């Protein structure tokens, strides 16, 4: 094994010595100009003659010195040293050179060893407006892995475009939060230093005790008990608070605990696990709003399920009471608004559906009508700040599901509207379309013998075979980019 690593290092050394700019070692030409279209950990990218090219004269992107030479940071300051030159110490990861930072990066996906700025950013109004969206480097790596499995050039081109759009970073375990939060806050600061623009990063806070009480595929690590609630507060929310206070110069959006409060609206009586979790959902939300809702550079959105969950009149009315109570319990913290359709497939508009037997008499059979209705209900319930972020990552095409409650790895999927602030004229309460659920990450396994198998993932219109929730699902990704609407 050691010999093979040495050979890899030798090959990387040859590449390092011969590349005129960082892009050549990745199979792309160097740009003749310097107009920046996209920036990632490799460097700055332009487009010439319809193809990506690397901009060779990119300046250093913060104190991770290897960025300026077209190479990423190593994932750890303790990485093995393979080579030392005047620039610094070099390691090898994934068959390529990386610069060993002088301090811990806090994870493998961010901007290196970045010194936090003392400037305080303050969000005023729509946090998605007037900013540049952070590019999730972990998702870029996932898509690169997907591309390596493709042979169709047109499909590869579509996948390459996916890397240029922002999506949310899920903090779905304490460990993942520790690895990904600070490193990506650093990455946003690096992107800011490179582009000169304010960089918005979107995180999903997702680790409540008893998480996803009405599903099996996405149950979390913390159980519905007092001890795990204490862990949620001290090991999860308090740590998030500390990092957000440190990295305060760039705006942050938090998508808060998908499915949790919607379960309290509809599933307390039918699902014992939800009744057991109610206390911890309410206490957890109160605590996180108090802690995170007072930070001026942070905007929070509570999850409200989707049109075929809370769209009925009685559900929306009850939801108004539940969400008003939750927001009030978090004082003095503020909540900007709500997010809908997270990890779901309901179209933004579906003119083929109306209130009737086909929709179980739901007056809101698409997300647009749902938000139009629930915005009025929430204001009537006394909620003062009612704005929305709608997840458009997988609703570009009407999927094959035969019942709108089907949620697991649906066939016929297509990526939807691109991330955009204020996307619909006349809906000033719609802050953004945004990709919250990363296309290509599974909703749940189809393996009936698996501990987290959920029956919905075995239904007729659920694509199979499917890996565990959160793992990469190549076939679903490929179908999603083929069916993209608008096309990629």
- Which residues are catalytically annotated? 212, 259, 443
For the chain, the C-alpha Rg in angstroms (whole number) is: 23
d(CA 463, CA 125): 40
Residue 273, C-beta contacts closer than 8 angstroms, at least 6 positions apart: 210, 213, 214, 224
d(CA 91, CA 96): 8
Q: How far is CA 300 from CA 3, 188, 297, 333, 378, in A?
A: 50, 18, 10, 10, 16
Q: What angle do CA 104, 106, 108 make, to 5 degrees?
A: 100
CA dihedral (172, 177, 179, 181) in degrees, to 10, reads 120
d(CA 103, CA 198): 25
d(CA 440, CA 471): 8
Nearest to 438 by CA among 394, 380, 381, 487: 394
Burial class of residue 117, CB neighbours in 10 A (0-12, 13-18, 19+):
middle
d(CA 345, CA 264): 22
d(CA 88, CA 206): 38
């Amino acid at each position: 094994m050691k010999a093979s690593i040495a050979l890899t290092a030798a090959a990387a050394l040859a590449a390092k010595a011969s590349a005129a700019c960082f892009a050549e070692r990745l199979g792309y030409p160097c740009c003749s100009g310097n107009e920046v279209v996209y920036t990632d950990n490799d460097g700055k990218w332009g487009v010439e003659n319809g193809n990506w090219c690397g901009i060779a004269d990119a300046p250093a992107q913060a104190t991770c010195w290897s960025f300026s030479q077209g190479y990423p940071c190593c994932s750890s300051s303790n990485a093995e040293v393979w080579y030392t030159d005047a620039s610094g110490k070099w390691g090898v990861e994934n068959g390529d050179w990386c610069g060993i930072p002088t301090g811990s990066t806090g994870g493998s996906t961010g901007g290196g060893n970045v010194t936090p700025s003392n400037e305080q950013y303050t969000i005023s109004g729509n946090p998605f407006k007037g900013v540049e969206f952070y590019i999730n480097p972990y998702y870029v790596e996932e898509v690169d892995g997907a591309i390596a499995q493709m042979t169709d050039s047109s499909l590869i081109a579509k996948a390459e475009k996916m890397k240029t759009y922002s999506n949310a970073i899920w903090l779905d375990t304490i460990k993942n939060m520790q690895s990904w939060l600070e490193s990506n806050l650093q990455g946003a600061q690096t992107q800011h230093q490179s582009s000169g623009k304010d960089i918005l990063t979107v995180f999903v806070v997702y680790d409540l005790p008893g998480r996803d009480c009405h599903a099996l595929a996405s149950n979390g690590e913390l159980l519905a008990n007092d001890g795990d609630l204490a862990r949620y507060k001290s090991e999860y929310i308090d740590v998030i608070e500390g990092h957000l206070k440190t990295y305060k110069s760039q705006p942050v959006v938090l998508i808060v605990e998908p499915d949790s409060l919607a379960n309290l609206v509809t599933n307390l009586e039918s699902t014992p696990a939800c009744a057991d979790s109610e206390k911890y959902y309410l206490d957890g939300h109160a605590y996180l709003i108090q802690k995170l809702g007072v930070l001026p550079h942070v905007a929070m959105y509570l999850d409200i399920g989707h049109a075929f969950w809370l769209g009925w009149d009685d559900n929306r009315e009850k939801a108004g009471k539940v969400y008003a109570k939750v927001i009030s319990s978090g004082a003095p913290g503020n909540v900007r608004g709500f997010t809908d359709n997270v990890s779901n497939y309901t179209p933004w508009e579906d003119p083929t559906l109306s209130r009737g037997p086909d929709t179980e008499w739901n007056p809101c059979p698409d997300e647009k009508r749902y938000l139009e209705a629930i915005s009025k209900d929430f204001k009537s319930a006394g909620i003062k700040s009612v704005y929305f972020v709608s997840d458009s990552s997988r609703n570009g095409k009407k999927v094959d599901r035969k019942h709108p409650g089907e949620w697991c790895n649906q066939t016929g999927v297509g990526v939807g509207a691109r991330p955009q602030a204020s996307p619909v004229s006349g809906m000033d309460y719609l802050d953004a379309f945004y990709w919250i659920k990363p296309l290509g990450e599974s909703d749940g396994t189809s393996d009936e013998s698996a501990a987290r198998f959920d029956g919905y993932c075995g239904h007729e219109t659920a694509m199979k075979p499917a890996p565990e929730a959160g793992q990469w699902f190549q076939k679903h990704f490929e179908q999603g980019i083929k069916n993209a609407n608008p096309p990629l």
